[in-house]
Amino acid sequence: TRLATFSAGCEIFEIKLSRGYNESSFREDLKIVYNKLGIENKKIVFMFGDQHVAEEGFLELINNMLTTGIVPALFADEEREAIIGNIREEAMKNGASPAKESIWQYFVTKCSVNLH
C-alpha cells in the first residue's frame, strides 16, 4: 500500500494511537484530513487497520465515510461556514450554485474523490 501510494503521488494518513486516544481525538484527526482533501486538494490514502480500532465508535465513523463521503456533524457550524467561504469561488467555477448546501456538497464530493 505504501509503495502504491507513493507511485500514485498520494500522501498517507494513519492515526497514531496513544494513551487517551479516543473518538474525540479521532474526529480531530479526521478534520485535518478533510481540510487537506477538500481545501488543499491533496490525494490521501487513509490507512486504517484492525489495530487502529481503539473504540468501536471508530468503525461507525469509518462506515459513514465510506457510505456518505463524510462523517455527519464532524464540523461545527462555524467551521463549516469557514470551509464554505474558502471553497465558494472554486465550487461556483465548477458549476455549483451559490447556495451553501450546494457548495458544501461540492466539498464533500471533492473529499470523496481525493480520499483513497
Burial class (CB in 10 A: 0-12, 13-18, 19+), 77: exposed
Pick the CATH number of 1-114 from 3.40.50.300, 3.40.140.10, 3.30.540.10, 2.60.40.10: 3.40.50.300
SS3 (DSSP) at 92: helix
Residue 10 and residue 78: Cα distance in Å, rounded?
29
On whether the CB atoms of residues 70 and 34 are closer than 8 A, the answer is: yes
Structure confidence at residue 15 (pLDDT): 87
Q: What is the pTM of this model?
A: 0.86
Residue 55 and residue 94: Cα distance in Å, rounded?
39
In tens digits, the chain (116 residues) has pLDDT values of: 889 999 999 999 988 888 888 988 989 999 999 999 999 999 999 888 888 888 888 889 889 888 888 888 899 999 999 999 999 999 989 988 889 999 999 999 999 999 98
Structure confidence at residue 78 (pLDDT): 93
